[in-house]
Amino acid sequence: MAARTEHSVAASFKDAAIAAVIALALFGPLVGLRTEVTTGGLFLSQRWGDVAVAVAVVFVGRLLLNLFVFKTDRPATGWFSGMKLSAGALARIGPVFGPLMLGLALTLPFILLFGAPSQSRYYIDLGILVLTYVMLGWGLNIVVGMAGLLDLGYVAFYAVGAYSYALLALNFGWSFWLCLPLAGVLAGLWGITLGFPVLRLRGDYLAIVTLAFGEIIRIVLLNWYEFTGGPNGLNNIPRPSFFGLEFDRSPEGFAATFGLEFAAIHRIIFLYYLILALALLTAFVTVRVRRLPVGRAWEALREDEIACRSLGINTTTTKLTAFAMGAMFGGFAGSFFATRQGFISPESFTFIESAVILAIVVLGGLGSQIGVVIAAIVLIGGFEIFRDFAEYRMLVFGLAMVLIMVWRPRGLISTRKPTIALGKAKAIGGELVGEGRG
């Protein structure tokens, strides 16, 4: 045993030295030599100190990895396998975690108002942002997580909802509460419109067509200048009112009616509760629909489409309802976005938005409601926390994604809860649950 350890130490040093040589070969020209533009032309500056640091980091890092992970009997990564076991624990805390998060979400603005008054506006704004993505994640979860249809163009429905509200409100002067359902219906119709041509497609092909659809919507919004304002976007979108009471200084305003002193924060808090209510509506409907035949058919479709057809399920309408319902919630979120910003332009609906929403769903665990919440907090909140690091933000973001996918390849919460049970419902392990192939 001792011999093996000695041997492994020697081998570790050798391996680390080789890694250091490779690092030297790579970093030497890349880091060590640098051309700089000066008044006299190009100059070659040398930075051998930096190279030494890089090589040393590689040597030490490789050595540590060798000693504690690669060439040892008890790899330190055993710690990670211990964490794998905690997956069950994660599922167990689920029932407590949900209500706890809900309670926190309901009281957050007041906690912030009294806890950190100077920064409360920033944090409530951040809360609104996170909740918007939670809602979008829940909406996309219907399509991707439940029905197993990979949709890379979800932002299109977000855009349809936002523009629907903005255009209806600006052209007809309709109120937010009238436009909100209309925006949802319009987005749902677009969901069906997208659904029809892609019904026959599966997997990668479906993903590409939905991606294209997202781009088409954005480009139409960008170029249809007379209607959408093109790249200038739409300005002065009306703010929502509290049952007809505007958030302003007028005697009929919200503050005056309730005998409060006017403060801009009132509207922010109102928007926060508005998006919270919309998100909760999404969650409520999704959880309920899952237990209905249509929701079960979505999940069955994800598991095995051919078996569905043999059981009398019309896969066409089933897929279309999933698309329509996901799109509808995207539309709700979109009209909220428009009323909150007061200004929208095609800039806000680029592919990266779709990618972030999809990342939230995948990271949270396909089909998991709580998982989406955690992922949205981690991703969107994390983005904000790392704002100071500017260009390293994406790097950290990517690294975190890779680590989580290595640690939990099926998302944070991969277990599936049965929709109905004779006895006690037991969570089903993620490895048994189908991911859907289109």
Cα 261 to Cα 28, 117, 250, 251, 253: the distances in Å are 65, 16, 11, 11, 11
- Least distance in Å: CB of 81 to other proteins? 23
CA angle 372–373–377, rounded 5-degree value:
115
If we measure between CA atoms, which residue out of 159, 134, 163, 204 comes closest to residue 350? 159
- Sole window of 201-209, 388-396, 400-408, 422-430 interacting with other proteins (rule: CB under 8 A): 422-430
- Least distance in Å: CB of 203 to other proteins? 18
- Choice from 7, 14, 200, 288 touching other proteins (CB under 8 A): 288
Distance, CA of 3 to CA of 15 (rounded, Å): 18
Residue 313 within binding range of other proteins, rule CB under 8 A: yes
Return the half-sphere exposure (C-beta side, CA atoms, 13 A cut-off) of residue 208: 5
**The dihedral sign for the CA sequence 299, 301, 307, 313:** positive
Identify which of residues 63 and 91 has a Cβ nearer to other proteins in the complex.
91
Residue 173 within binding range of other proteins, rule CB under 8 A: no
- Choice from 2, 37, 306, 390 touching other proteins (CB under 8 A): 306
- Kindly determine how many residues on this chain lie close enough to bind other proteins according to the rule CB under 8 A: 38
Residue 434 within binding range of other proteins, rule CB under 8 A: yes
Identify which of residues 146 and 338 has a Cβ nearer to other proteins in the complex.
146
Cα 237 to Cα 155, 171, 176, 178, 423: the distances in Å are 20, 10, 10, 14, 52
Per the listing, tokens 């095995």 go with 304
Write the interaction track for other proteins spanning residues 232-271; mark x where CB under 8 A is met and - where it is not. Answer: ----------------------------------------
- Choice from 168, 300, 375, 412 touching other proteins (CB under 8 A): 300
Residue 426 within binding range of other proteins, rule CB under 8 A: yes
Identify which of residues 125 and 303 has a Cβ nearer to other proteins in the complex.
303
Identify which of residues 387 and 424 has a Cβ nearer to other proteins in the complex.
424
Residue 423 within binding range of other proteins, rule CB under 8 A: yes
Distance, CA of 170 to CA of 156 (rounded, Å): 21
CB distance 136 to 144 below 8 Å: no
Identify which of residues 210 and 321 has a Cβ nearer to other proteins in the complex.
321
Residue 185 within binding range of other proteins, rule CB under 8 A: no
- Sole window of 151-159, 188-196, 305-313, 354-362 interacting with other proteins (rule: CB under 8 A): 305-313
- Sole window of 186-194, 266-274, 378-386, 418-426 interacting with other proteins (rule: CB under 8 A): 418-426
Query: Which residues are paired to 45 by β-bridges?
Result: 34
Residue type, 270: F
- Choice from 308, 328, 376, 377 touching other proteins (CB under 8 A): 308
Q: Which residues inside 314-353 make contact with other proteins, applying CB under 8 A?
A: 314-315, 321
- Choice from 307, 385, 403, 405 touching other proteins (CB under 8 A): 307
Q: Which residues inside 83-112 make contact with other proteins, applying CB under 8 A?
A: none
Distance, CA of 325 to CA of 342 (rounded, Å): 26
Identify which of residues 384 and 435 has a Cβ nearer to other proteins in the complex.
435
Residue 75 within binding range of other proteins, rule CB under 8 A: no
- Choice from 294, 355, 396, 400 touching other proteins (CB under 8 A): 294
If we measure between CA atoms, which residue out of 149, 138, 233 comes closest to residue 194? 149
Q: Please list, in sequence order, all residues whose beta carbon lies within 8 angstroms of the beta carbon of residue 55, skipping any fewer than 6 positions away.
A: 20, 23, 24, 27
- Sole window of 46-54, 169-177, 304-312, 395-403 interacting with other proteins (rule: CB under 8 A): 304-312
Distance, CA of 143 to CA of 202 (rounded, Å): 13
Distance, CA of 127 to CA of 376 (rounded, Å): 11
Distance, CA of 274 to CA of 214 (rounded, Å): 26
- Choice from 125, 246, 248, 303 touching other proteins (CB under 8 A): 303
- Least distance in Å: CB of 302 to other proteins? 8
Q: Which residues inside 357-416 make contact with other proteins, applying CB under 8 A?
A: 416
Residue 418 within binding range of other proteins, rule CB under 8 A: yes
Number of neighbouring beta carbons within 10 Å of residue 16: 20
**The dihedral sign for the CA sequence 108, 109, 110, 114:** positive
Burial class (CB in 10 A: 0-12, 13-18, 19+), 350: middle
- Least distance in Å: CB of 287 to other proteins? 11
Distance, CA of 114 to CA of 251 (rounded, Å): 27
* Residues at the interface with other proteins (CB under 8 A): 285, 288-289, 292-294, 296-297, 299-300, 303-304, 306-315, 321, 416, 418-426, 428-429, 432-434
